[in-house]
Amino acid sequence: MTARPPEAFTLDRIETPVGTVLLVTDAQGVVRALDFVDYEPRMLRLLARHYGQVKLTPGQAPEPVRAGVRAYFGGDARALEGLPVATAGTPFQREVWAALRSIPAGETRSYGQLAAAIGRPKAVRAVGLANGANPVGIIVPCHRVVGANGTMTGYAGGLERKRWLLAHEAAAL
């Protein structure tokens, strides 16, 4: 059996008001991962889980992607909506991640609402696990999911960032 060559991606770093963002894109400029620099080990684990061996080359993401990220953090809460993303994951995870992208900026949904939105109202825990395995934070807005009573629940980038992102989007709209 021949070993598959590693997936080749570009690793960009963009400064934001809440820390440096790591932005991983493929040769076509499609976003494969986005996370905060202090969560780089998590991002690397997710990339390895989804793609196997990866080769990250420092560089810049395509300008439209960089511009979208900068515009989002600059106050345009909808700047990320059209950015192309590709996520490996299971079919269920991809279904959850697609549903996340349908949550409008400045709004939140509970895990139960998200489960109902994908037609699986009893899969609340599985939706939570898929949400936590999202490799493309912010663009696939897992920060917009809250507890059933509206409380802040876990966020891979930290609850303070989650609060900031939600307040940032609310203020921008």
Residues forming the active site? 142
Q: Are the C-beta atoms of residues 21 and 34 closer than 8 Å to each other? A: yes
Q: Which helix (H) or strand (E) is 45 found in, with range?
A: helix 40-51
Strands 145-146 and 109-110: what pairing?
Answer: parallel
- What does the alpha-carbon distance between residue 128 and residue 41 come to, in Å, rounded to a whole number? 21
Count other C-beta atoms under 10 Å from residue 80's C-beta. Answer: 23
Q: Which one, of 154, 106, 162, 150, lies nearest residue 127 by Cα?
A: 154
Three-class SS of residue 3? coil
Report the distance separating Cα 60 and Cα 66, nearest Å.
Answer: 8
Q: Which two tokens stand for residue 157?
A: 């980038």
Sign of the four-CA dihedral 75, 154, 129, 132: positive
